[in-house]
Structure 1
Amino acid sequence: MTDLFTRELKFWDLTFSRVSFDLLTYARVLRHERTLIFISLCLLSFFATDPSGTRAYIPLWFDILLWPTAFMFYLAVYHLLLMAFSAASKRWPNLRAPLPVMGGISLLPTVFACEAAVTWISNGAYGRAILPQMIFFFLAVQALETVFFKFIMPNVRKELQRDSDARHVIVGGERLDLSGLIHVEAREHHVHLTFHDKQLMSRARLGDIVAQTRVEDGVQPHRSWWVARDPAITPERKGGRMILRLRDDTEVPVARTRVNDVQDWLQKHVRNGD
C-alpha cells in the first residue's frame, strides 16, 4: 500500500511539459505555506469576481463558504484520480497522463454539486445554469494549475528537500539540529544532549528522541544512550565489555545484547567500524 503513495507518477501539463511527482510529495507541497497562500489568493479572486453570478441569489455566508468547499470537493476527486492512476502505473510504469484531462474530470462533479447547492439554497431563484460555464471554469482552473505546477511546486519541492537534508529532532518542544549532536544520555526523567559547542538538559524520554531518527543518523548501543554517526567513533574493549569512545572522549557502554547490532551499524555507517 505504501508504494501507492511513493510511486513516481508521470504527466503532461497544459503546455505539454513533462511533470512527475509522487502522491506523498504532492500532499506535502499542498500543505506548504506558500501553496496555501497561492490557493487562498485564487479562491479570493473567484469570490471577488463572482463569475457564476450567484451572489445576488444566495446569503453572503453561503457565498463565502462556497468557494473553499468547492475547492475541497475538487481536490478530493482529484486525489482519487491520482490514486487510481498510481495503481495503474504499477502495471504500466511508462504510463503518462495529461493533467488537464484529470482536472476536467474532477471539475465536472464539482460544478454539478455547486449548481445543485446554489439552486437549493436559493429555493430555485437562481435561474442561470452553472454547467454551461464549464469551459470558462476549466480554462481558469487550468491556468492556475499550470502556474502551480510550473512555478509553485518546483520551488516548494526544493525547499522541502533542503529541510529533509537538514535532519533535526524535537526535544521538549525545541527543534534541534542533528548535525551538531554527539550523544544523548538518559538520566532518570531527563535527557542530557551533548553538542559540539554546547550541552542541554531537557525533561524528555530517550525513546521519543530515538523514534525521530533514522538508522543512518546514529545508534542506540545501550538503553540509556544514543550516539550520533561520527567517523571519530572508536569501538574499544574495557573490562571485557565493548564500549564506544566518542570524539569528546566520552565512553559509551554497549549492552551485551546489542553488541552484534552495534558492530553491524559501525561497519555500515562509520568508516572505521570494527
Structure 2
Amino acid sequence: MSSISDRTVQLVDIGGLNFALGPGELVVLLRHNASRLYLLCVYALLVVTDAPGLYGQVAVPVILTFWLFMLTFFLATLWCILFALAAAQNRLGPWKTPAPLVMALAVLPGTFVGEHAMGLLTEGRHPPQLFPQVVFYFIMAEVFGILFLKFVRPAIEGRAHETGRHIVIGASPVPLSRLRHIEAREHHVHVTLDGESLTQRARLGDIVAQTAPEDGFQPHRSWWVAAQAGGRLEKDGPKHVLQLRDGTRIPVARTRVEEVREWLERHG
C-alpha cells in the first residue's frame, strides 16, 4: 500500500497544464503549515458565506461542525480517488487524467452527503438538492484547487530553495524544485520534471555540477535523481534498483549501492 501511496498521478488542469500529484504527496502537502493556513481560510469562507443558508435554521456550533466535516470529507474523498488512480496506473501504466474530472468525482459524494445532512439538521426545511448544488461546489473546489496549485504548493516546495534556484540544462533554465530525475542518453539528457519531460543537448556532469549534495544524487553514472523524487532501494535479481514514487525504476551501480543507501537514510 505504501508503494502505491508514493506514486504520483499524471494530471492535466483546466488550462491544459500538466502536473503530478499522488496520495502520499497530498498528505505531505496538507501537513505543512502553509496548507493548514490555506485550509483555515477556505473553512472560514465556507462558514461566512453560508451558501446553503443554514444561519437561522440551526445553531452556529452545528454549522461550524458541519463545514468542518464537509471539508474533511472532501479531502478524504480526494485522497481515495488519487489512491485509486495510482493503483490503476501502477498496474496498467501511466496516463494523464483531467484534473477537473478528479475534482468533480471528489465533490459529488460530499454534496450528496451534505445535502441529506442539511435536510436532517433543518428537519426537512432544507430538502436535498443535488443539482445545481453540485455544480456550485465543483466551481468552488476548482477555484480553491487552482489557487492551491498556483500559490500554496509552489511556496511549500520552494521553501527548501528560497532563492528560487534554477539550473541550466542546454540553454534552458529549469527550476530545481521541479526536477525529478535526469537520464544521460549519448549526447543528450532526458529530463523529467513535475508532470512533463524534455530532451536537451547537454552533459550530465555539467548539470550535476550545478547542484548541491542535498539536492539529489547519482545512483548510476547515467542518472541523477532529485531529492523530491523520493524512492527506495530494491533488489531485482542480483542487481539493485531505485524505485521512485512515479514508478520509474533506475539501475544502481554496484559500486554506489552503499552511497545510495546512506543518502536515502539521511535525506529520505
Q: TM-score, normalised by structure 2?
A: 0.57
State the secondary structure of the residue aligned to 2:111: helix
Structure 1 unaligned runs (5+)? Answer: 163-263, 270-274
Post-superposition Cα deviations, 1:19-44, rounded to whole Å, max 9, x if no partner, equal: 11333222111110001111110111
Counterpart of 1:53 in structure 2 is 53
Q: Is the 8 A contact 2:70 2:114 kept in 1?
A: yes
Unaligned runs of 5+ in 2: 163-256, 263-268
Instruction: Give the whole-Å Cα distance in 1 for the aligned partners of 2:258 and 2:89.
Output: 36
1:60-107 Cα deviation digits (max 9, x unpaired) = 111111111101111111111111100111133331111111111111
Aligned partner of 1:76 in structure 2 is 76
Pairs within 5 Å for 1:143-158? 143-158=143-158
Match of 1:5 in 2: 5
Where do 4+ consecutive residues of structure 1 move more than 6 Å? Answer: none
CA distance in 2, matches of 1:154, 1:49: 28
Alignment identity in percent?
A: 20
Mapped partners of 2:116, 2:104: distance in 1: 19
- How far apart, in 1, do the equivalents of 2:131 and 2:81 lie? 21
Q: Which residue is equivalent to 1:27?
A: 27
Q: Would the aligned equivalents of 1:4 and 1:87 in 2 still touch at CA under 8 Å?
A: yes
Deviations 1:41-64 (A, max 9, x none): 011111111111122212211111
Please state whether the residue corresponding to 2:20 is helix, strand or coil. strand
Aligned to 1:101: 101
Q: Which has the larger radius of gyration?
A: 1
SS in 2 for 1:20: strand
Find the residue that maps to 1:155 and give its secondary structure: helix
Q: Deviations over 1:211-251 (max 9, x none)?
A: xxxxxxxxxxxxxxxxxxxxxxxxxxxxxxxxxxxxxxxxx
Q: How does 1:1-274 map to 2 (within 5 A)?
A: 1-127=1-127, 129=129, 131-159=131-159
- 1:158 deviates by 2.7
- Partner AA of 2:84 in structure 1: A
C-alpha spacing 1:130/1:62, structure 2 compared with 1 (3 Å): farther
Structure 1 counterpart SS, 2:29: helix
Q: Which amino acid aligns with 2:147?
A: V
Using the alignment, how far apart are the partners of 2:21 and 2:106 within structure 1?
19
Q: How far does the alpha carbon of each residue in 1:172-219 deviate from its partner, in whole angstroms, 9 at most, with x for none?
A: xxxxxxxxxxxxxxxxxxxxxxxxxxxxxxxxxxxxxxxxxxxxxxxx
Paired with 1:6 and 1:161, the residues of 2 have a C-alpha distance of 22
User: Over aligned residue pairs, what C-alpha RMSD do you find?
Assistant: 2.3
- RCO greater where, 1 or 2, for CA within 8 Å and sep 6 or more? 2
Amino acid at match of 2:105: I
Q: Give yes or no for contact 1:115–1:131 (8 Å, CA) kept in 2.
A: no
TM-score for both structures, normalised by structure 1: 0.56
Change (3 A) 1:130 1:59: farther
Distance 1:265 1:98, change over 3 A: closer
Q: Contact (CA 8 Å) 2:22, 2:82: kept in 1 or not?
A: no
Asked if 2 retains the 8 angstrom alpha-carbon contact of 1:12 and 1:98, the reply is yes
* CA 1:95–1:131: 2 relative to 1, 3 Å: same
The AA in structure 2 aligned to 1:106 is A
**In structure 2, do the counterparts of structure 1 residues 130 and 56 end up closer, same or farther at CA, with 3 Å as the change threshold?**
farther
Distance 1:135 1:71 in 2: 16
Residues in 1 aligned to 2:43 and 2:4: alpha-carbon distance in whole angstroms: 30
